[in-house]
Amino acid sequence: MAGDGYIQGKLKDGVSSKDALTSDAPLLLLIPGSSIQVGQWARKIVINDNINTGSMFDYIRRARKEGFEVIVLNNNENYGIKVPGVERAIRGSESPEKHVSYVWENFVRPSKAKQVLIVAHSYGGVCTVNLVQNHFEEVRERVAAIAFTDSVHGFGNPFRKFPGAETWFKWFQTHAVNWARSSKPLDEPVDGRQYSSPLNSSGDCPYLSAGHESHDYTTVSAKESVFRFLKEKLAANA
In 3D space, the residue among 117, 133, 118 whose CA is nearest the CA of residue 167 turns out to be 133
- Rounded to whole angstroms, how far apart are CA atoms 19 and 230? 20
Instruction: Tell me what pLDDT residue 42 has.
Output: 59
What mean pLDDT is reported for the chain?
82
Instruction: Tell me what pLDDT residue 216 has.
Output: 85
Instruction: Tell me what pLDDT residue 3 has.
Output: 38
* Exposure on the CB side of residue 44, measured as CA atoms within 13 A: 9
With cut-offs at 50, 70 and 90, classify the pLDDT of residue 236.
Answer: very high
Q: Given a cut of 80, is residue 5 above it in pLDDT?
A: no
Instruction: Tell me what pLDDT residue 143 has.
Output: 98
With cut-offs at 50, 70 and 90, classify the pLDDT of residue 8.
Answer: very low
Q: When comparing pLDDT for 2 and 105, which is higher?
A: 105
Q: When comparing pLDDT for 123 and 54, which is higher?
A: 123
What is the DSSP code (8-state) at residue 144? E
Using alpha carbons only, how large is the chain's radius of gyration in Å?
A: 17
Q: Kindly report the CA angle at 1 between 106 and 130, in degrees rounded to 5?
A: 65
Q: Which of 50-64, 120-134, 175-189, 220-234 has the lowest mean pLDDT?
A: 50-64
**Mean of pLDDT values over 195-206:** 59
> Annotated catalytic residue: which of 16, 93, 111, 122?
122
Q: Given a cut of 70, is residue 161 above it in pLDDT?
A: no
What CA dihedral angle connects 76, 196, 206 and 149, to 10 degrees? Answer: 30
Residue 151 known to be catalytic: no
Farthest-apart Cα atoms in the chain, separation: 52
- Taking the model in full, what pTM does it have? 0.86
Instruction: Tell me what pLDDT residue 235 has.
Output: 96
Q: When comparing pLDDT for 139 and 201, which is higher?
A: 139
Instruction: Tell me what pLDDT residue 153 has.
Output: 82
